[in-house]
Protein backbone atom coordinates (compact mmCIF):
# COMPACT_ATOMS: atom_id res chain seq x y z
CA UNK A 1 0.00 0.00 0.00
CA UNK A 2 2.83 2.37 0.90
CA UNK A 3 4.56 1.61 -2.39
CA UNK A 4 1.34 2.31 -4.31
CA UNK A 5 0.86 5.62 -2.47
CA UNK A 6 4.41 6.71 -3.34
CA UNK A 7 3.84 5.83 -7.00
CA UNK A 8 0.67 7.93 -7.10
CA UNK A 9 2.43 10.83 -5.39
CA UNK A 10 5.28 10.77 -7.91
CA UNK A 11 2.81 10.62 -10.81
CA UNK A 12 0.91 13.60 -9.42
CA UNK A 13 4.14 15.57 -9.06
CA UNK A 14 5.14 14.83 -12.66
CA UNK A 15 1.73 15.99 -13.92
CA UNK A 16 2.04 19.18 -11.88
CA UNK A 17 5.46 19.95 -13.34
CA UNK A 18 4.33 19.25 -16.90
CA UNK A 19 1.09 21.19 -16.70
CA UNK A 20 1.09 24.88 -17.78
CA UNK A 21 1.47 27.30 -14.91
CA UNK A 22 -1.40 29.48 -13.89
CA UNK A 23 0.92 32.38 -13.10
CA UNK A 24 1.60 35.52 -15.08
CA UNK A 25 1.52 35.36 -18.86
CA UNK A 26 4.80 35.74 -20.74
CA UNK A 27 5.21 39.55 -21.18
CA UNK A 28 6.14 39.38 -24.86
CA UNK A 29 3.28 36.99 -25.65
CA UNK A 30 0.95 39.36 -23.84
CA UNK A 31 2.14 42.32 -25.93
CA UNK A 32 1.68 40.34 -29.16
CA UNK A 33 -1.77 39.24 -28.06
CA UNK A 34 -2.78 42.87 -27.51
CA UNK A 35 -1.31 43.82 -30.87
CA UNK A 36 1.41 46.05 -29.44
CA UNK A 37 -1.13 48.87 -29.00
CA UNK A 38 -0.95 49.33 -32.77
CA UNK A 39 -3.50 51.10 -34.96
CA UNK A 40 -3.82 51.23 -38.71
CA UNK A 41 -3.23 54.65 -40.25
CA UNK A 42 -5.32 55.31 -43.36
CA UNK A 43 -3.66 57.95 -45.51
CA UNK A 44 -5.27 60.12 -48.14
CA UNK A 45 -2.71 61.87 -50.33
CA UNK A 46 -3.68 64.80 -52.56
CA UNK A 47 -1.98 67.58 -54.48
CA UNK A 48 -0.86 70.54 -52.40
CA UNK A 49 -1.58 73.00 -55.21
CA UNK A 50 -4.68 72.03 -57.19
CA UNK A 51 -6.32 73.56 -60.23
CA UNK A 52 -10.14 73.86 -60.24
CA UNK A 53 -10.67 70.50 -61.97
CA UNK A 54 -8.31 68.72 -59.57
CA UNK A 55 -10.13 70.31 -56.63
CA UNK A 56 -13.44 68.91 -57.89
CA UNK A 57 -11.90 65.45 -58.33
CA UNK A 58 -10.30 65.62 -54.88
CA UNK A 59 -13.67 66.54 -53.39
CA UNK A 60 -15.01 63.16 -54.47
CA UNK A 61 -14.10 60.77 -51.66
CA UNK A 62 -12.36 57.74 -53.10
CA UNK A 63 -11.08 56.63 -49.72
CA UNK A 64 -7.48 56.26 -48.56
CA UNK A 65 -4.71 55.67 -51.09
CA UNK A 66 -2.00 54.74 -48.56
CA UNK A 67 -1.58 52.89 -45.29
CA UNK A 68 0.93 52.85 -42.43
CA UNK A 69 1.12 51.94 -38.75
CA UNK A 70 0.98 53.89 -35.51
CA UNK A 71 0.63 52.90 -31.88
CA UNK A 72 -1.16 54.32 -28.88
CA UNK A 73 1.00 56.13 -26.33
CA UNK A 74 -1.76 57.74 -24.28
CA UNK A 75 -5.45 58.58 -24.29
CA UNK A 76 -6.04 59.87 -27.81
CA UNK A 77 -2.29 60.01 -28.54
CA UNK A 78 -0.74 58.01 -31.37
CA UNK A 79 2.94 57.89 -32.34
CA UNK A 80 4.21 57.09 -35.83
CA UNK A 81 7.06 57.96 -38.21
CA UNK A 82 7.13 61.59 -39.32
CA UNK A 83 7.61 60.75 -43.00
CA UNK A 84 4.29 58.88 -42.90
CA UNK A 85 2.34 62.08 -42.21
CA UNK A 86 4.57 64.60 -44.01
CA UNK A 87 3.34 63.93 -47.55
CA UNK A 88 6.98 63.70 -48.64
CA UNK A 89 6.92 60.60 -50.83
CA UNK A 90 9.60 59.33 -53.18
CA UNK A 91 9.18 60.11 -56.89
CA UNK A 92 8.38 56.48 -57.67
CA UNK A 93 5.63 56.29 -55.02
CA UNK A 94 4.09 59.53 -56.25
CA UNK A 95 3.84 58.03 -59.73
CA UNK A 96 2.35 54.80 -58.31
CA UNK A 97 -0.42 56.88 -56.73
CA UNK A 98 -1.13 58.71 -59.99
CA UNK A 99 0.69 61.95 -59.22
CA UNK A 100 3.55 63.62 -61.04
CA UNK A 101 7.01 62.73 -59.76
CA UNK A 102 7.73 66.37 -58.82
CA UNK A 103 4.32 67.31 -57.43
CA UNK A 104 4.06 68.50 -53.84
CA UNK A 105 1.59 66.43 -51.82
CA UNK A 106 -0.35 66.81 -48.61
CA UNK A 107 -1.88 64.01 -46.59
CA UNK A 108 -4.81 63.47 -44.26
CA UNK A 109 -4.43 60.77 -41.61
CA UNK A 110 -7.32 58.72 -40.24
CA UNK A 111 -7.41 56.40 -37.24
CA UNK A 112 -10.48 54.18 -37.04
CA UNK A 113 -12.28 56.54 -39.41
CA UNK A 114 -11.46 59.61 -37.30
CA UNK A 115 -9.17 62.25 -38.80
CA UNK A 116 -6.05 62.71 -36.71
CA UNK A 117 -4.13 65.93 -36.08
CA UNK A 118 -0.35 66.28 -35.95
CA UNK A 119 0.47 67.89 -32.61
CA UNK A 120 4.26 67.50 -32.28
CA UNK A 121 7.10 66.22 -34.43
CA UNK A 122 10.81 65.43 -34.28
CA UNK A 123 11.83 65.54 -37.94
CA UNK A 124 15.45 64.56 -37.25
CA UNK A 125 14.36 61.40 -35.44
CA UNK A 126 11.54 60.84 -37.98
CA UNK A 127 8.85 60.82 -35.29
CA UNK A 128 5.38 62.35 -35.08
CA UNK A 129 2.78 62.53 -32.34
CA UNK A 130 -0.88 62.59 -33.41
CA UNK A 131 -4.10 63.47 -31.65
CA UNK A 132 -6.82 60.97 -32.60
CA UNK A 133 -10.25 60.18 -31.21
CA UNK A 134 -10.06 59.10 -27.59
CA UNK A 135 -10.35 55.44 -26.72
CA UNK A 136 -13.02 54.10 -24.41
CA UNK A 137 -10.56 51.58 -22.96
CA UNK A 138 -8.06 52.13 -20.17
CA UNK A 139 -4.65 51.86 -21.81
CA UNK A 140 -1.33 51.45 -20.04
CA UNK A 141 1.68 51.63 -22.33
CA UNK A 142 5.20 50.76 -21.09
CA UNK A 143 7.87 53.44 -21.12
CA UNK A 144 10.53 53.39 -23.80
CA UNK A 145 13.79 51.67 -22.88
CA UNK A 146 16.96 53.69 -23.65
CA UNK A 147 19.46 50.93 -24.48
CA UNK A 148 19.90 47.78 -26.53
CA UNK A 149 22.65 45.15 -26.52
CA UNK A 150 24.35 43.60 -29.54
CA UNK A 151 22.42 40.70 -31.11
CA UNK A 152 19.43 41.30 -28.84
CA UNK A 153 16.27 39.77 -30.25
CA UNK A 154 13.65 42.25 -31.40
CA UNK A 155 10.01 42.07 -32.36
CA UNK A 156 8.04 44.49 -34.56
CA UNK A 157 4.24 44.64 -34.65
CA UNK A 158 2.67 46.33 -37.69
CA UNK A 159 -0.95 46.92 -38.66
CA UNK A 160 -1.26 48.16 -42.25
CA UNK A 161 -4.77 47.75 -43.66
CA UNK A 162 -5.86 46.69 -40.18
CA UNK A 163 -4.01 43.35 -40.31
CA UNK A 164 -1.73 42.54 -37.35
CA UNK A 165 1.68 41.45 -38.64
CA UNK A 166 4.55 40.34 -36.40
CA UNK A 167 8.18 40.32 -37.51
CA UNK A 168 11.19 39.15 -35.53
CA UNK A 169 14.74 40.34 -35.95
CA UNK A 170 18.13 40.88 -34.33
CA UNK A 171 19.70 44.16 -33.23
CA UNK A 172 22.81 44.99 -35.29
CA UNK A 173 24.04 48.18 -33.64
CA UNK A 174 23.97 51.96 -34.13
CA UNK A 175 23.34 53.51 -37.54
CA UNK A 176 24.25 57.11 -38.37
CA UNK A 177 21.81 59.01 -40.60
CA UNK A 178 21.80 62.79 -41.17
CA UNK A 179 24.09 63.19 -38.17
CA UNK A 180 21.65 61.42 -35.83
CA UNK A 181 22.11 57.97 -34.37
CA UNK A 182 19.44 55.43 -35.22
CA UNK A 183 19.44 51.72 -34.46
CA UNK A 184 19.64 48.99 -37.07
CA UNK A 185 18.31 45.44 -37.15
CA UNK A 186 18.20 42.44 -39.43
CA UNK A 187 14.46 42.18 -39.98
CA UNK A 188 12.02 41.43 -42.80
CA UNK A 189 9.91 44.56 -43.36
CA UNK A 190 7.82 46.13 -46.12
CA UNK A 191 5.62 49.09 -47.03
CA UNK A 192 3.03 49.90 -44.40
CA UNK A 193 5.32 49.01 -41.49
CA UNK A 194 6.60 52.56 -40.96
CA UNK A 195 5.62 53.83 -37.52
CA UNK A 196 5.44 50.36 -35.97
CA UNK A 197 6.57 49.83 -32.36
CA UNK A 198 9.62 47.64 -31.79
CA UNK A 199 10.05 45.57 -28.61
CA UNK A 200 12.96 43.65 -27.13
CA UNK A 201 12.70 40.07 -25.83
CA UNK A 202 11.63 41.40 -22.42
CA UNK A 203 8.60 43.10 -24.00
CA UNK A 204 10.14 46.54 -23.42
CA UNK A 205 9.34 49.21 -25.99
CA UNK A 206 12.67 50.20 -27.55
CA UNK A 207 11.89 52.32 -30.61
CA UNK A 208 9.90 53.07 -33.75
CA UNK A 209 10.53 51.52 -37.16
CA UNK A 210 11.17 54.31 -39.67
CA UNK A 211 12.86 52.94 -42.78
CA UNK A 212 15.06 50.43 -44.55
CA UNK A 213 18.57 50.56 -45.99
CA UNK A 214 18.29 48.31 -49.04
CA UNK A 215 22.02 48.44 -49.79
CA UNK A 216 22.89 46.99 -46.37
CA UNK A 217 19.59 45.15 -45.83
CA UNK A 218 19.01 46.81 -42.47
CA UNK A 219 15.79 47.97 -40.83
CA UNK A 220 16.17 51.40 -39.22
CA UNK A 221 14.69 52.15 -35.80
CA UNK A 222 14.30 55.57 -34.22
CA UNK A 223 15.66 55.06 -30.68
CA UNK A 224 13.32 54.94 -27.72
CA UNK A 225 15.12 57.80 -26.00
CA UNK A 226 14.02 60.18 -28.78
CA UNK A 227 10.46 58.86 -28.72
CA UNK A 228 10.29 59.29 -24.95
CA UNK A 229 11.68 62.84 -25.27
CA UNK A 230 8.98 63.71 -27.81
CA UNK A 231 6.31 62.52 -25.37
CA UNK A 232 7.91 64.31 -22.43
CA UNK A 233 8.22 67.57 -24.41
CA UNK A 234 4.56 67.38 -25.35
CA UNK A 235 3.50 66.63 -21.79
CA UNK A 236 5.55 69.55 -20.46
CA UNK A 237 4.41 72.09 -23.03
CA UNK A 238 1.58 74.50 -22.16
CA UNK A 239 -1.74 73.37 -23.65
CA UNK A 240 -4.13 75.80 -25.42
Q: Return the CATH number at 182.
A: 2.40.10.10
Residue 131, φ and ψ in degrees, nearest 5:
-105, 115
What number is the average pLDDT over the span 128-142? 76
Q: What is the three-class DSSP state of 74?
A: strand
Do 192 and 110 reside in the same domain of the chain?
Answer: no
pLDDT for 15: 46
> In this structure, is residue 13 part of a structural domain?
no
State yes or no: pLDDT of 87 exceeds 80: yes
pLDDT for 19: 47
pTM over 0.75: yes
Do 177 and 213 reside in the same domain of the chain?
Answer: yes
- pLDDT tens-digit map of 58-82: 555 567 888 999 999 988 899 999 9
State yes or no: pLDDT of 25 exceeds 70: no
> In this structure, is residue 28 part of a structural domain?
no
- pLDDT tens-digit map of 168-218: 999 999 999 878 889 999 999 988 899 999 999 888 999 999 999 999 999
Q: Return the CATH number at 62.
A: 2.40.10
Instruction: Give pairs for 63-67: CB < 8 Å, separation 24+.
Output: 64/110, 65/97, 66/42, 66/97, 66/107, 67/40, 67/41, 67/42, 67/43, 67/160, 67/161, 67/192
> In this structure, is residue 108 part of a structural domain?
yes
> Total structural domains in the chain?
2
Beta carbons within 8 Å of 72's beta carbon, 6+ residues apart: 37, 38, 39, 78, 135, 139, 141
- The closest alpha carbon to 224, from 148, 171, 150, 168, belongs to 148
Q: Does residue 184 contact residue 213 with C-beta atoms inside 8 Å?
A: yes
Question: Domain span at residue 162?
Answer: 153-232
Do 37 and 127 reside in the same domain of the chain?
Answer: yes
Do 125 and 203 reside in the same domain of the chain?
Answer: no
The CA distances from residue 219 to 15, 155, 188, 224, in Å, are 44, 12, 8, 15
Do 61 and 120 reside in the same domain of the chain?
Answer: yes
Average pLDDT of the chain is 83
- pLDDT tens-digit map of 28-48: 888 888 777 899 999 999 888
pLDDT for 135: 65
Amino acid sequence: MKSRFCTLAVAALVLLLLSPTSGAEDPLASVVKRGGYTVSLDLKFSRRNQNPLQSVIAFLDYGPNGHATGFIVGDGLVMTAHHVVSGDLSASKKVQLGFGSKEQLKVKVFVNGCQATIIKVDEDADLALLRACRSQKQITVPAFQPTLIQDEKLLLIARPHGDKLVRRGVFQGPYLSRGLQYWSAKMDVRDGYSGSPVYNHRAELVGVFTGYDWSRKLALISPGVRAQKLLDDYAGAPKP
